[in-house]
Structure 1
Amino acid sequence: MPAPKATGRRKRASVVLTIVMTVMLLYCVGPLFWLVVNASKSRTDLYDTFALWFGPNFALFDNIAQVMTYDDGIFVRWFGNTLLYVVLGAGGATLLATLAGYGLAKYRFPGRRAVFAIILGALAIPGSVLAVPQFLMFSKLGLTNTPWAVIIPSLVSAFGLYLVWVYAAEAIPDELIEAARLDGAGEIRIFFSISLRQLAPALITVLMFAVVATWNNYFLPLIMLSDPQWYPLTVGLNQWASASTSIGTEPIPHLVITASLLTVLPISAVFLYLQRYWQAGLTAGSVK
């Protein structure tokens, strides 16, 4: 039987962990709950009712309709821009990281260690530090204020490349690739028929991070784009919020909150959807 003191310590540790996890849950869910509650209020109820509970009138669908039509439906344009940046930027970053990471992990060539050092150095550089040099470079190329100024930088994911590199080195045995070569399979067929399936957990993980980073990208499009027609949701909603607090403009805080909710829901759904495949891939070979 366990000692009474050990049992008491376990109980205290369990209580402490429960309290900590509860606080973390409230910290994460609280802002989302506030967003849902206040998105369902009219502009009047937003000021006249308690911020953490629903108002007397449920105006969520009215607010959504106003968001979709406000300023000639610019929110729909921003939403489409964000989807464009995510599909091309995040999708391209995942593809390039997968190809490059697999190649670096399974092929030997001169300068491989130098590439590894460069990637590690790139991981230590914040993206905001690169924004100004990127702006100057794209300005010289005449690409500022175009979607390419946001898409092209999003294609580079040093973290994704490093993750695929490390995962491929451990998850794909060299013997498996050699056996496929002996059977007459070419390198492209080996990658798409054998290696890509083994890389599924790493690929989904890279895709998750790339999608979230591109969807929430703010600083890069802020300095690259000046035409509101090319804004993503992050920059566009900030413009709405700034205009709502300016003197002489129509206050639209209820629309800003509702639009923020509409912005959060798709990325949350994508994250939860991809997480299922990520977890399934991690446990696929655990039981034989």
Structure 2
Amino acid sequence: MNRQSLIRSLILFTLSCTTVPSFASGPISGDTAPAIEPVSKVSFGDVLSLDVTHQPTLFRYGEAPSQFVELWQPEGIVRPPVVVFIHGGCWLAEYDLSHANAMASAFVDQGFAVWSIEYRRVGEPGGGWPNSLSDVEAAITAMEDFGEQLNLDRAVLSGHSAGGHLALLISAKANYSHRFKQVFGLAPISRLADYSMGTNSCQRATSLFMGGLPTDDAADYRAADPSQRELSANLTLILGADDAIVESSYSLLESVPSTSIPNAGHFDVLHPQTQTFRSFLAQVKEQLNDQ
């Protein structure tokens, strides 16, 4: 299958994910989650349809079109704590950081700033391994210039799916991981080589990201596979028990704490009205002492 056919099949796969009945859109607000029944197994389309009540400011850390971050800041809070976020999307250029906007906006409602990282992905010049990871490193380094605006001593790192894969690799780098009180892998692709041998569209995209299969370059896969790296002790995983895109067996790591949310799908953590997001929010608050 050529690259364009693979990308088309991925888009069709994503859009066909399970949907839920209509619900009131909008991120949570105030100090606690709204007293409504959480939704679950939301689709990519459900996440895209959510209202976004805040707007970010864009800052560049490089010259390429995708080398930028979006800074989401709450009003009236001096030097808020920071949630650094790396979006997923199978490392493909077709999926940018905007699908996590509702989640970022919900964190702003809770008094957090969000440093949402865009990076070069497969389908644009320079995208793929190892440059996608290098971009994330550069974006984290660029955050150091914002110490007057953000409380960098109260920061966590998080990443979803393919972005979770990159977040776990950052946690293996001592010069980066020490900057964060906690690293959260949200349905992360933790076992890259194993994942690349699967048959769903995102699994097949792994070889595009890596430039081949594990049999083509075992050394590159070892370097890019979180399960083969010594990861930060301050790492936890949050998974959906019914995730069909990154099944738990590809996320779980020995000796790494994890929370598995029953009846939750792959995109639930991006939706502020799900139990998965609420679990993520509660754990962020616990780490940053923001009860």
* Shorter-normalised TM range: under 0.3
Choose between structure 1 and 2 for higher RCO, CA contacts under 8 A separated by at least 6 residues: 1
TM-score by length of 1: 0.26
Task: Give the structure-2-normalised TM-score.
Answer: 0.26
More strand by share: 2
Structure with larger Rg: 1
Would you tell me which structure has more helix in proportion to its own residues?
1
